[in-house]
C-alpha cells in the first residue's frame, strides 16, 4: 500500500525511531561479524548482571489466572511421584544401583512432577525465588519443589538436569522393552527459560561470548555471563504460546514434551545426564509429546524409568543449547513387553524407537554407549547413517517390505530430522508416515 505522507511530513519522532532501529541493526551485525574474535571490549559481568535487573520492564503479574501446579496440587492419575529433593538426581541418571522411589505393576499409570533446571542452576544464582522474582514472577507462582531442590539437593553430576525417579516396574527384566505412553503433559508454571552457555550449543566458542560487553544485550546475560532468555506463556486464539522479550514481537505455539525419558543402564559408573544413549535419556525428540509412545530396551531388573528436562517448546536441532525449558507434570502408562512378545517393534529390543498416531520414528545416535563406555562421538553423519539403518530394518523386519523397495521409499517419502546437535552425542530421527501403508 502506497503511503499518503510526503517526505517533508516525516516527524522528528520518526527520525529518532528510525535512527534507533538502524543503530540496533548495526549493533547486531557488528556482533555477528565479531563473533570469532577472542575478546570484546565492554563492562564486567557484575555490571552486566546489575544492569539487567535495572532495565527489566515491570508489568502485570506473570501468568495471572494460570493454575500453578505446586507439589500434590491439582488432579493426578494413577501413582503420583513428586520431585522431592531426596528423590531426584541432579546432573546424572539412575543406574542399576538406584533405589526406586515407586514400584508399579506393568500397565500402570503414573503421574510425575518434573522440575526444569533453568532457574536453579549456579550461573542463575541457584535460588529460584530470587531469580524468577527478578522477572516479576510473584513468589506464589514459583514452584516449592524447585526451591527445595535448589536449597537441599546435591548437584553432584556433570549435567544440568533435575531428573525424577526411578520408578520400578514389576516383572521387567533385561532383554524386555519398556513401552512408555505419554498420556498427558501439563504446564506447572506459565513461563520458561531458553539458555546459551559458554562452550555449548551449535556455535561453541562463538556465543555467548560475542554477546558480552554489548549494552543492548545486557538484559539477557545472567550473573554467570551466559544468556538466559525469560519467556512468558500467553494465551492467544485459544492456544498457549511462548512470548519472547525484545523490540520485535515474536511468539510461537507451545508443544510440550519430556527431553529426558529413560531406563537405567547396567553400570555402576556415574551416567552423565547430557548425552542420550541406547537406554534413552536426553533424546530431545520434539515429537514425543502427548499421544506418543517411546520404546526402550530394558537393561536392569525393574527397568527403573526416569524422566526430566521438561520442554514447553523446541525447534529441531535445539541450536542455542536449551529448548524453552519449563516445569511440566507428565502422566505416563508404563508397560513391559517381554522379549519375543508382541507390542513393540523388533528394533526396540536393542535401541530406542518411538511412534505417534501419524508416524513411526526410528532413532539414530552418533554414540549410543555414553561417555562412561569410552567417550562421545559427535557426528551427524554417524547419527544419520544409524537412523537410516534402523528405519530400513523396521520396514523390512516389522512391516515386511523388500529391502530395495524400502530403501527407495525412505529416499522418496520419509523425512529425517535433526533431534539435537548440542548434547555431544548427536541425534537424527526418521518420520515414517503410517498413512502411506494401507
> Which residue stretches of 259-402 are H helix?
380-393
**DSSP H or E run through 109:** strand 108-113
CA distance 118 to 136: 16
Q: What is the 3-state secondary structure (H, E, C) of 40-56?
A: CCCCCHHHHHHHHHHHC
CA 319 to chain centre: 11
Cβ pair 254, 240 in contact under 8 A: yes
Angle at 72 between CA 68 and CA 73, to 5 degrees: 35
Phi then psi for 362, rounded to 5 degrees?
A: -70, 145
Residue 19: exposure state from Cβ atoms within 10 A (0-12, 13-18, ≥19): exposed
Predicted pLDDT at 48:
29
Closest listed residue to residue 407, CA positions, set 429, 432, 428: 432
Cell numbers 513387553 label which residue?
337
Distance of alpha carbon 312 from alpha carbon 324, whole angstroms: 5
User: How far is Cα 399 from Cα 389, in angstroms, rounded to an integer?
Assistant: 15
Model pLDDT, residue 13:
39
Burial class (CB in 10 A: 0-12, 13-18, 19+), 353: buried
Kindly report the CATH number that applies to the domain delimited by 79-191+253-343.
2.60.120.580
Query: Can you list the residues of the chain whose pLDDT is less than 50?
Result: 1-60
Per-residue pLDDT tens over the stretch 99-115:
999 999 999 999 999 99
Amino acid at each position: 500500500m502506497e503511503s499518503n505522507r510526503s517526505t517533508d511530513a516525516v516527524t522528528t519522532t520518526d527520525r529518532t525511531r528510525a535512527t534507533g532501529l538502524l543503530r540496533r541493526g548495526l549493533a547486531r551485525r557488528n556482533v555477528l561479524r565479531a563473533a570469532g574474535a577472542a575478546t570484546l571490549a565492554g563492562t564486567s559481568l557484575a555490571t552486566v548482571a546489575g544492569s539487567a535487573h535495572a532495565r527489566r520492564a515491570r508489568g502485570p503479574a506473570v501468568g495471572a489466572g494460570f493454575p500453578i501446579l505446586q507439589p500434590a496440587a491439582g488432579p493426578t492419575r494413577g501413582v503420583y511421584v513428586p520431585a522431592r529433593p531426596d528423590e531426584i538426581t541432579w546432573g546424572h541418571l539412575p543406574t542399576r544401583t538406584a533405589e526406586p522411589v515407586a514400584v508399579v505393576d506393568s500397565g500402570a499409570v503414573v503421574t510425575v512432577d518434573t522440575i526444569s533446571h533453568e532457574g536453579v542452576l549456579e550461573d542463575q544464582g541457584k535460588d529460584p525465588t530470587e531469580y524468577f522474582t527478578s522477572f516479576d514472577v510473584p513468589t506464589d507462582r514459583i514452584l516449592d519443589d524447585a526451591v527445595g531442590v535448589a536449597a537441599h539437593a546435591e548437584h553432584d553430576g556433570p549435567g544440568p538436569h533435575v531428573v525424577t525417579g526411578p520408578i520400578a516396574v514389576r516383572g521387567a527384566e533385561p532383554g524386555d522393552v519398556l513401552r512408555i505412553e505419554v498420556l498427558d503433559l501439563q504446564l506447572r508454571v506459565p513461563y520458561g527459560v531458553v539458555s546459551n552457555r559458554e562452550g555449548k550449543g551449535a556455535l561453541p566458542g562463538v556465543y555467548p561470548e560475542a554477546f558480552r560487553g554489548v549494552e543492548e544485550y545486557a538484559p539477557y546475560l545472567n550473573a554467570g555471563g551466559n544468556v538466559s532468555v525469560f519467556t512468558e506463556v500467553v494465551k492467544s486464539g485459544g492456544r498457549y504460546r511462548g512470548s519472547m522479550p525484545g523490540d520485535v514481537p515474536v511468539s510461537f505455539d507451545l508443544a510440550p514434551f519430556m527431553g529426558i525419558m529413560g531406563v537405567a543402564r547396567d553400570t555402576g559408573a556415574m551416567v552423565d545426564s547430557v548425552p542420550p544413549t541406547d537406554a534413552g535419556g536426553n533424546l530431545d525428540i520434539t515429537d514425543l509429546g502427548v499421544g506418543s509412545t517411546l520404546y526402550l530396551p530394558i537393561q536392569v531388573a525393574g527397568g527403573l524409568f526416569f524422566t526430566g528436562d521438561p520442554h514447553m517448546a523446541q525447534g529441531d536441532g535445539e541450536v542455542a543449547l536449551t529448548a524453552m525449558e519449563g516445569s511440566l507434570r507428565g502422566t505416563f502408562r508404563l508397560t513391559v513387553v517381554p522379549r519375543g512378545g508382541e507390542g513393540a517393534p523388533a528394533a526396540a529390543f536393542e535401541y530406542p524407537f518411538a511412534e505417534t498416531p501419524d508416524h513411526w520414528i526410528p532413532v539414530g545416535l552418533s554414540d549410543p554407549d555414553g561417555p562412561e563406555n569410552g567417550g562421545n562421538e559427535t557426528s551427524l553423519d554417524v547419527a544419520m547413517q544409524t537412523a537410516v539403518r534402523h528405519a530400513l530394518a523396521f520396514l523390512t523386519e516389522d512391516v515386511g517390505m523388500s529391502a530395495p523397495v524400502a530403501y527407495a521409499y525412505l529416499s522418496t517419502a520419509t523425512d529425517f530430522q535433526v533431534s539435537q546437535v548440542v548434547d555431544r552425542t548427536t541425534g537424527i530421527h526418521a518420520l515414517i508416515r503410517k498413512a502411506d501403508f494401507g
